[in-house]
Amino acid sequence: MFPLSMICLAVAIFVLVALLDPAGRWRMRHLPGPPALPFLGHLPQVLKMGTPTFFAKCREIYGPIFKVGGKLLNRPTFRGLMLGDHKKMDDMGLVLARDGYWRLMRTAWQPAFSSASLAGYLPRMAACALQLADRMEALAQVAGGAVADGQHPARTLSGYSGHGTASIPYTASSSRSSSRVDLWRELGSMTLQVVGSTAYGVDLHAFEAMDEERCEQAAAAATAAGNGSSFTTNHAPSTAAQSRAGAGGGNGSEMFGRVLVEACRDIFKYSSNIYGSKYGPLSLLLPELQYVMPYIANALPDRPLVKLLQARKQLLESSRTLVNSWKGGGAASGNNTSAKAAPQSAAPPDGDSSKAPGIEPGSFLGLILSAREKSTGQPLSDLSVISQVQTFILAGYETTANALAFAVYNIATHPEVESRLLAEVDSVLGRDRPPSESDLPRLPYTEAVFNEAMRLYPPAHATSRMLASGPVKLGAFSVPPGTPIMMAIHSSHTDPRVWPRPEEFIPERFLPGDPLHASVAARVPGAHAPFGYGVRMCIGWKFAVQEAKVALACLYQRLRFDLEPGQVPLATSVGLTLAPRDGLWVRPMLRWRP
C-alpha cells in the first residue's frame, strides 16, 4: 500500500502539470500573443472587455495571427455541460458534425436552401414581417391618435386587415410621439415565426405568446403593488389573445407553438454569460475537467442550468412529437408538396390541444424526413433528424433578430442612411405592396445596410475548428495538429488594413461600383464573413439575407424608428451570439398619415 501522502503528492503533481500544460506551451511558444496567467489564462481580460474587444486589442498589438490561453474558450459552454441525448444532438447538428457525417448532413440540408425553396419561403417571411409592421403601426397610432374617424381599415396589435388607404407624409412637426417598445424582442418574435413556419410547417404564434407573457408580468407587478385595476386598463392583452381566451385557450397548433417559443427563448437566455449557469465560467477556467464537469453540473445543477435543461428537454420532446406525427401519417395533406409552394400550418381538430399539428411537406422538417426516406445505405435516425431541425431553428432565431436590431440601431443613428433607405423602399414597393421575389434584386441598398450592420455587429462574432492534421502554415507560422483555430470575425471586420474607416457605418462599401467596395474587394476576398467562410460557411446565409431584406423593407415602408435616449453607443453582451445587452428601445413613428 502506498502511503496517503504519496498518493496526494502524485495527484497534486498530475493536476499541476495538467493545468500548466508545459508541453502545449512549448509547442506554441513561437506564436505571438499576450502573456497568460497561470490557471486563469486570459479569462480576466475576456470578462473585463468581452471576447470581441479582447480579440481586437490582440490584433492591434500582435497582428492578424496570435495565440490566446486555453482558458479563453476550450469548449462551448452550451455543449460542454450536456449529457445524454442533448450532447448527442449537439454532436449530430450540422454546426458540430464532422467528416463523412457532416457531408451527409450537408447534402440533406441542401434542398431546403435551393432557389425554389427560398422562393417558397418568401410569402411566409413577408407575412411575418407585415405582422410586425402592423403591430408597430398600431402602437404608433394608439399613442398618436392617428386613426380617429373610423374611415380606414382597422389595424390591431395582432393582425392587419388591409392596405391601400389614402395617406399623406408625416413631417417632423406633425409626427406624434408613440409608446416605447423593445424592438429587439419584437424582431425575435418575428424571426421565430419565420423559422417556426419554415422549420416545422406550423404557426408558432410567437407574437401572441409574447403579448401574453407581458400581460402576465404586468399583472404580477400590479398585484405586487396592490393596484390590480390599473393592469386591467393599461395592460389589456391583444385582440388575438382575448379571442383565444374566449374560445377556451386556442387550438393545438397555437399551444404547441407557445411551448416551442418559450423553449427557444430560454435556451438562448440561459446559455448567455449574464443569465447562464455558473458552471459555464468554471468549465472555461478548468477545461482539464471537461469530462467530469458535465456530471458534476448535472448532479448539482444551479437554477440557470435547470432552466436550460428544461428548455432543451421541451424542445427535444416537441420535435420528437412532430417526427412521430409524420411517421404516424400526420403530415399535412394536400397538393402543396414542394418547397416552391407556400405551405400552411396544419392543426388537430378544434378543442384538442394535446396533439401536435401535422408537418407540412414543404417545411424543413418535411424535407429532412423525406431525405431520410429516400436515402440508401445511410438512413438518418430520429435523433439525427431532430438535431438538424433544432440547429435550423436555433441558428435562425436569435442571430437574425440580433442582426436586424443592429441594423435598425445604425439606421436610427445615421439620418443620411435612413433617407437613402426610405427612398429605395418607396421607389421599389411604394406604400402598400409587400415585396415579391422580383423585388429583392432591386433593393441593393437595403441589403448593403444589413451587410454593414453585420460587419460592425456580427452575431456570430467568432468561429472555431480543431486542426485535425498538420502542421499547417498560417502566414509565417507553423501550427501543430490538435490546435483549436479560431476565426475572430468581429476583429477581422474592423481591421483597418482591410477596411477603410473601419469604425464608421457606411453601407456604400457593399455597393458594387462604389470606391469603398472596390478597395475592400481587391484586398481580401472573404474579408466580410458574418456567416463564416469556406466549405463550413453557414448553409442558410441566403435564407437569412432574404429574411432581413424583406423585414427591413416591410418595416420602413410605413415606419421609421427613433431611439430612446441613453443607447449610444449600444451596449452588447456575448453569449451564444453577440446581442444587444438591454434590448433596443425605440419609438415607432408613422411615415404616412392614414
Binding-site residues for heme, in ranges, read 538
Residue 422 and residue 555 in contact, taking contact as beta carbons nearer than 8 Å: no
What span, in angstroms and rounded, lies between the C-alpha atoms of 216 and 196? 24
Which helix (H) or strand (E) covers residue 478, if one does?
strand 477-479
Residue 275 and residue 252 in contact, taking contact as beta carbons nearer than 8 Å: no
What number of CA atoms fall less than 13 Å from residue 314's CA on the CB side? 18
Output the known binding site: 538
**Backbone dihedral angles phi then psi of residue 24, each to the nearest 5 degrees:** -65, -40
What span, in angstroms and rounded, lies between the C-alpha atoms of 373 and 421? 46
Residue 456 and residue 437 in contact, taking contact as beta carbons nearer than 8 Å: no
Closest C-alpha to 390, from 292, 264, 233: 264
Q: What are 47-51's contacts with CB under 8 Å, separation 24+?
A: 47/281, 50/572, 50/574, 51/461, 51/462, 51/574
The SS3 of residue 182 is: strand
CB-count exposure of residue 196 (10 Å: 0-12, 13-18, 19+): buried
The neighbour count for residue 221, using CB atoms within 10 Å, is: 13
Which helix (H) or strand (E) covers residue 399, if one does?
helix 382-412
